[in-house]
Amino acid sequence: MIVPTILGVVTLVFFFIHMVPGDPVVLMLGDYATKQEVQSMRHRLNLDRPLLSQYGMYLDDLIHGDLGTSIYYKRPAAGIVLRRFGYTAVLALFAMLLSLLISTPLGIIAAFRQDSWLDKAIGGASVVGLSLPNFLIGIVLILMFSVKLDLLPVAGAQSLSSLVLPGLTLAIGMSAMTIRMVRANMIAAIRHESFTAGLARGLGTGRALFFHALKAALIPVITLIGMQFGLLLSGAIVTETVFSWPGIGKLLVDSVTTRDYPLLSAAVLVIASVYVVVNLVTDIAYYLVEPRMRRVQ
């Protein structure tokens, strides 16, 4: 289903972006361009052809590995998208690592201290983190660590320290959801007979937790993490825009603003491909963690 899924996404995006008001040629040449210059540029970019003809040419180029040339940058769209995707991948990996380091121990602690003040405090914090939009979290972090304390850069991607604020912004929202998932599944796993049997066989609490409860609790969490990671790799549009992070999310916003059809199509194609692959990897991980999935039906 990977091929028809990607083809369907690309087809929808191709026709939708041509419905967006505005002429990319006028935006590129400026308001003072003559009518002859506009017509010449439109002919050179094949924008004067019927829409179905443009779509056929686009699919033919796609089959031959040509994602088109950016109207705004006047360079191959594939190179621009892949370069920006590298920034997004680094940000996504960093944010996911931070999220796991925050959510996993807090979810386990909340499960073991169920209904205690600590459990309620962790639950309350997760609700707040889940309720706050990313742009607000980002602005607050900028005010605290960049404006007030002058510890971290406000925006851009000049150094590794530039990763901290956008990565933390994304990690807070993801951690809030993952904490609740880990807690709920850990409570169910601790109450399961396999955990009790492990303690009865003489396993310590830590070993029983790792070999029985945690493994069982991670199965649904893997699906959630895979979906979150896929969304991150698709471009954290709001966060990348707030921090001027040169990732694929900000590239999408810029390509829509400039009506850069080839660049926008190339970006969506890469995003769709990555998201499908991440979901496939998530299914494989689920299969490896859960032995019952390996049984032949």
pLDDT in tens, the chain (297 residues): 778 888 888 888 888 877 766 666 766 666 677 777 778 877 777 777 888 888 888 888 888 878 878 878 888 888 898 888 888 888 888 998 898 888 888 888 888 787 888 888 988 888 888 888 888 888 999 999 988 888 888 888 788 888 889 999 888 888 888 888 888 877 777 766 666 666 666 666 666 666 566 666 667 777 777 777 777 776 578 888 888 888 888 888 888 877 787 888 888 888 888 888 887 887 777 677 666 655 544
- Whole-model pTM: value is 0.76
Q: Please name which of 42, 168, 31 lies closest in space to residue 94, comparing C-alpha atoms.
A: 168
CA distances from 263 to 5, 26, 77, 82, 230 (A): 20, 17, 5, 11, 21
Q: Please, are residues 223 and 282 in contact by the beta-carbon 8 Å criterion?
A: yes
Q: What's the CA gap between 58 and 14, in Å, rounded?
A: 9
- Burial (0-12, 13-18, 19+ Cβ within 10 Å), 260: buried
- Burial (0-12, 13-18, 19+ Cβ within 10 Å), 133: exposed
Domain boundaries, the chain: 2-63, 81-294
Residues shown for the chain: 297
- In 70-109, which positions are buried (b, 16+ CB within 10 angstroms) versus exposed (e)? bbbbeebbbebbeebbebbebbbebbbebbbebbbebbbb
Q: What's the CA gap between 94 and 258, in Å, rounded?
A: 30
How high is the pLDDT of residue 68? 79
How high is the pLDDT of residue 216? 64
How high is the pLDDT of residue 297? 46
Radius of gyration from C-alpha coordinates of the chain: 24
Q: What's the CA gap between 206 and 47, in Å, rounded?
A: 65
CB under 8 Å to 67, separation ≥6 — which residues?
A: 61, 76, 77, 78, 81, 262, 265, 266, 269
Look up tokens 């304390």; give the residue.
149
Fill in the amino acid letter for 64. H
Instruction: Supply the CATH classification number for the domain 81-294.
Output: 1.10.3720.10
Q: What's the CA gap between 146 and 154, in Å, rounded?
A: 6
Q: Please, are residues 239 and 248 in contact by the beta-carbon 8 Å criterion?
A: no
DSSP 65: T
